[in-house]
Structure 1
Amino acid sequence: MSTYRGEAEEAAARQKETAEEALRRQEMENEERRRRAEQRRKEIKEKAERAKKAAAAGLPPSAAAALAAEAVAREAKPPTSHVTVAVLGHQGAGKSMLVGALLLATAAISERDLAKRRKEAERLKESELQREDGLRTPKGAELALLDVPGGRRSLPQAVAASAEADVAMLVISAKGRELEAALKEAGGGPSTLVEQLRAARGLGTAAKEGRLVVAVTKMEEVSWAEDRFDEVISTLTSVLTNAGFSQAATVFVPVDGLTNQVDAKKAPWHTGASLLQCLDDMASCAPRPGALQVLVFESTPAAKGTIRVRGRVEQGTLRPGERCLLTPGSAPCAVEALRMAASRNVVPLEEAKSGQNVELQLSGGPFPDWPTVGGASTIGWCGSVLGSTQSPVEVSDSVKAYLEVLELPRPMTAGFKAVLHVHAATVDAEIDQILDATDWATGVTTERPKIVKAGQRLTVLLKFSRQVPVCSVSDAQSSRLGLLMLRLEETTVAVGHVLEVK
């Protein structure tokens, strides 16, 4: 069975970490969060005080002080909404540089700390997904940015980020011919950039709408030339369309991460919204009512009889003390502690609503031990769901599904086997039956075809190697628990959703 080459190496490395080591590491990380949060709050308050004194004296405050005063005012209010953004892009596009510029623009980091961070990044090449939480937009939305490495070996991180994100931000370089080179990788087959887009289109909750913001960075390198910006749009349009993103739902914004220009003021020809305004608009997602669903991304052993879990509230409201069921396994448990998942802040929560990223401590059990990969602290629980005791989430190892076939390294027939991503869970899967196939171009439907090809829409019966939580028919269009992505030999074969749980 084909899997990502990097996954086996990552799992082997993680298995070496004992439960005690994992617990100590997390405690150290939490302490570092508290220290950075306190330092950041102190710096922002000092700058805000300078802004007040300047205003009292009738003087204009410095830009940094004014920004800090705005940040203090924003953070004093509860966030208007929560949105997780997968930051995608080709290798060398400038993703991390732009993430740093966004941290500075939202007063989540000081200029001094940003300079230190960038200097350290030059020395250490990051190969892991980097998470930045707790950013506040001008309209009060709370952002979590998942910065995905651009290399092909980092495609598993792109898949994981897409399964967690609400929207995708694609970072593209305007410099030279870097974009064109990224679209023509050696070795043939779809480029890493195309594979990232397919993951975002297949697994994100915005998959149906195809919402995407494209940040065209390194504009300073091309003197903020409008013709180069238009050329990037022209080059990308067919790529985005083929990946399933509509032109109407895609927004292009000129930026420059190195010079921290995210407001497009150096591009007077740009009449659209700035990058932060675009993210603000995308953050306006309506809460999803209904029975509780918390999608789990990782777990760590804690005190005896408890575990720590990081996840995302997909539906309903979660509160401390609530009794839940963890599936698969239907393990009864209680929420002992609940807090916001943030890299610089440790914030206890009285409740968490849909869209929020949370960290919680669970007691009860016995908790299921599945699967047996990932060691003590990592992906073993990824894709499990914490649900209501009254309305537990369905689990199954067989579904009827709708699939859009994108590319086929080899012929697809009944018995076709591949790696299947079901929301955040990863399983081996087999196409048990192909019920029908409809050609995109002609609209002609063939009942029970013996073989299918790229460019067709299928209705199939899928069998999983183990049970996973999946959504029912009524939820398939609105919940990520019904989203599917089929991959083979580092290629996304098809994307789709569950039609019926068997």
Structure 2
Amino acid sequence: MARHRNVRGYNYDEDFEEDDIYGQSVEDDYCISPSTAAQFIYSRRDNPLEEEYVSEDRAHSNYCISSHQLTGVEKAKLDLCLVRMKEVLGESVPEKVMIEALLNSRFDVQQALDSVLSQNSEQDMKTKDDETMSGGKTTKGKVRDSQTTRVESDVVPKVTKMTVSRKKKPAGFEVPCVTAEENGHNAFTSQKGHSAGDANANMGVVEILPKPAPPSQTVQASEEQAMVPTPVKKSGKTKQQIDVKAELEKRQGGKHLLNLVIIGHVDAGKSTLMGHLLYLLGNVNKRTMHKYEQESKKAGKASFAYAWVLDETGEERERGVTMDVGMTKFETKTKVITLMDAPGHKDFIPNMITGAAQADVAILVVDASRGEFEAGFETGGQTREHGLLVRSLGVTQLAVAVNKMDQVNWQQERFMEIVHKLGQFLRQAGFKELDVAYIPTSGLGGENLVTRSQSSELNKWYEGKCLLEQIDAFKSPQRSVDKPFRLCVSDVFKDQGSGFCVTGKIEAGYVQVGDRLLAMPPNETCTVKGIALHDEPVDWAAAGDHVSLTLTGMDIIKINVGYVFCCPKEPIKACVRFRARVLIFNIEIPITKGFPVLLHYQTVSEPATIRKLLNVLHKSTGEVTKKKPKCLTKGQNALIELQTQRPIALELYKDFKELGRFMLRYSGSTIAAGVVTEIKE
């Protein structure tokens, strides 16, 4: 204790020089000493005017209360009513005036408020009349009074109508016509204040907020106030709505967009054919092509040089087969082509379905070599299965590239044999003869790809189009730009900056930078930070575009391949149970209730179970031929109910054809194709 006494009684002036400042440290540039701190402490005793005003007001209030000889209950009631009036009027009206009004109205808050407000309104009008009579001139002694009147008139006299009720009614008031400059800082109405206004309406209180009022104490304006013009805060980043159809015509010089998938049996030469096509078009420079040739020779696969244009991964080049869907872009005279090279191996059919589901048209590549075409076309080959898959997924236009014709010396007989066999099968699959074209080609030699062949053997009997001319002749499908936005995720990866990226094809609608999107089925919202179309940043993208979206405001772990981004106002439905109409393909065992299948939908691959067999339908008319069948066999058209293990985002086929188709596979083969007719849950 002695140590503390010494400190308190210590004379600091003896230890510091004149330049030293008490409390100064090395890091501080200023200080406040104990002796000077008193000037910052407010004391009501130092303000005699306020003390006199407060004491006089309290004395007058006590006199009013004592003069009426109130009981304890009446005093409590008076305090409660006084609190309610202060919540409405604040400090704009003296307490003595409010007490007198409450005592005169027998504690009726509404009547007391009306009398106080009417008195202040009359005083304000009288003050304005006096100012008008005196020509707006005031003496120096009236400066303070005029300022006080102006402050009070900003809060009270503008209120001419008020409803105070203990019932739950919206409280409203009228505001005279004022300029935006005078009323711009007093925004009384806000959406966040509705709940507070309703709660106070139950208490019989209406809040009127002065200038510094917090947003939690707002009130709901009446219908009369809605007529008063109020300033609207405009954001500097206001998104401009675009005319998508007009912009699509302007983009790429008026060329139409077309999504093209390359399909066919393994080793039919799909990657080599399209790689050589891209090289001849100038999309791959000579230096890069020379590099591929040297590397393929070192690997002992010299003939795979052109295939490496699309097969970019080391595993694909080492194994010599396409494993994933390769994607690139090239242009013809009238179209911008998004090229997707699908794998042909049986093990990678799910990847092929992903590519085919995003395509508008297709090129079916077949090997013209003796024995090779038959191996792909017979049972177990991928030529038949790929043809059925693309037709079931909505592709109606097809070009058949009869590849490796140089190995059969461009024989017309071999070409016509292949055309006859394929034509019969494609008609059964649902393709129209006018929508199928047959073109003899040589992917390795580059014959009949970009220009018509100069080979004398081919020119003797073939006078049709080359492959590029046929691609340019495809009809562009109708884009669903008027429908709500839909994008199915095909890949997810982390961005270099904030947020993450998703890639996929926009199936419907359009998107702009800054849009809010909803991800289903996780039901999470995010914001579009950036859009890239073929690795080029753009401000918007529409239906048919393969885009990469940079998203923020959402965790990347909540997004998987197969999820659908949609418009929050018109979301896509997520379910685990739905009904569908299916067409059964060539199956070895009949399908029964409880049959396990693998559901392929867009980029989704989800295990599912056939829960019910509802009806067998007629193929052409769709009429019910048999109810509740016990099994389904080859070639039947039926209505079934499916149940998935996890929720998936689906659309009805009648609303969104692109998002209403699916495939069913079992034990490594495709057993059925279907369309969604009803979403259960």
| TM-score, length-scaled by structure 2 | 0.56
Q: Is the 8 A contact 1:98 1:257 kept in 2?
A: yes
Deviations, residues 436-458 of structure 1 (Å, cap 9, x unaligned): 11354998811111111111111
Aligned to 1:28: none
Aligned to 1:401: 580
Deviation at 1:483, TM superposition (A): 0.5
Deviations, residues 85-126 of structure 1 (Å, cap 9, x unaligned): 221122221111111122023321234433433554563324
* 1:427 corresponds to which of 581, 606, 618: 606
In 1, Cα distance between equivalents of 2:251 and 2:631: 59
* 1:462 corresponds to which of 618, 637, 642: 642
Aligned to 2:368: 174
Deviation at 1:130, TM superposition (A): 4.9
Question: Does the residue aligned with 1:480 lie in a helix, a strand or coil?
Answer: coil
Change (3 A) 1:202 1:177: same
* 2:468 corresponds to which of 248, 273, 276: 276
How do 1:97-496 and structure 2 match up within 5 A?
Answer: 97-121=272-296, 123=299, 124=317, 125-139=320-334, 141-184=335-378, 190-203=380-393, 205-206=394-395, 210-261=396-447, 262=449, 263-266=451-454, 267-268=458-459, 269-282=461-474, 284-288=476-480, 289-302=482-495, 306-341=499-534, 346-366=535-555, 369=558, 381-438=560-617, 440=619, 445-476=625-656, 479-496=657-674
Amino acid at match of 1:462: L
* 2:269 corresponds to which of 72, 79, 94: 94
Deviation at 1:236, TM superposition (A): 1.6
In 2, Cα distance between equivalents of 1:76 and 1:319: 15
Q: Is the 8 A contact 1:420 1:485 kept in 2?
A: yes
Q: Is the 8 A contact 1:407 1:454 kept in 2?
A: yes
Change (3 A) 1:176 1:127: same
Which structure has the highest strand share of the two? 1
| TM-score, length-scaled by structure 1 | 0.75
Shifted more, 87-96 versus 242-251: the winner is 242-251
Deviation at 1:280, TM superposition (A): 2.1
Aligned to 1:72: none
Shifted more, 439-448 versus 296-305: the winner is 439-448
In 2, Cα distance between equivalents of 1:475 and 1:213: 29
CA RMSD of aligned residues (A): 2.5
Number of aligned residue pairs: 403
Aligned to 2:49: none
Shifted more, 423-432 versus 354-363: the winner is 423-432
Change (3 A) 1:120 1:283: farther
Deviation at 1:358, TM superposition (A): 0.6
In 2, Cα distance between equivalents of 1:305 and 1:470: 30
Change (3 A) 1:500 1:305: farther
Q: Is the 8 A contact 1:339 1:359 kept in 2?
A: yes
Deviation at 1:160, TM superposition (A): 2.0
Q: Is the 8 A contact 2:350 2:605 kept in 1?
A: no
Change (3 A) 1:257 1:119: farther
Deviation at 1:421, TM superposition (A): 0.9
Q: Is the 8 A contact 2:325 2:351 kept in 1?
A: no
Change (3 A) 1:76 1:306: closer
In 1, Cα distance between equivalents of 2:466 and 2:356: 23
Q: Is the 8 A contact 2:601 2:663 kept in 1?
A: yes
Aligned to 1:44: none
In 2, Cα distance between equivalents of 1:149 and 1:392: 33
In 2, Cα distance between equivalents of 1:121 and 1:79: 39
Q: Is the 8 A contact 2:615 2:624 kept in 1?
A: no
In 2, Cα distance between equivalents of 1:441 and 1:318: 39
* 2:256 corresponds to which of 81, 86, 104: 81
Deviation at 1:83, TM superposition (A): 2.1
Change (3 A) 1:403 1:120: farther
Amino acid at match of 1:92: D
Change (3 A) 1:292 1:76: closer
Amino acid at match of 2:670: T
In 2, Cα distance between equivalents of 1:76 and 1:249: 27
Q: Is the 8 A contact 2:494 2:501 kept in 1?
A: yes
Amino acid at match of 2:385: E
Aligned to 1:64: none
Question: Does the residue aligned with 2:347 lie in a helix, a strand or coil?
Answer: helix
Question: Does the residue aligned with 1:114 lie in a helix, a strand or coil?
Answer: helix
Q: Is the 8 A contact 2:375 2:381 kept in 1?
A: no
Amino acid at match of 2:627: E
In 1, Cα distance between equivalents of 2:251 and 2:385: 40
Change (3 A) 1:328 1:121: farther
Q: Is the 8 A contact 2:502 2:548 kept in 1?
A: yes
Which structure has the highest helix share of the two? 2
In 1, Cα distance between equivalents of 2:511 and 2:321: 34
Question: Does the residue aligned with 1:335 lie in a helix, a strand or coil?
Answer: strand
Change (3 A) 1:100 1:119: farther
- Gaps of at least 5 residues in structure 2 are 1-249, 300-316
Amino acid at match of 1:407: N
Amino acid at match of 1:384: Y
Larger Rg, first or second structure (1 or 2) = 2
Of all paired residues, the percent bearing the same amino acid is 27
Deviations, residues 285-341 of structure 1 (Å, cap 9, x unaligned): 222121111121010123576211111111111111111111111211111111113
In 1, Cα distance between equivalents of 2:625 and 2:251: 57
Question: Does the residue aligned with 2:607 lie in a helix, a strand or coil?
Answer: strand
In 1, Cα distance between equivalents of 2:439 and 2:562: 33
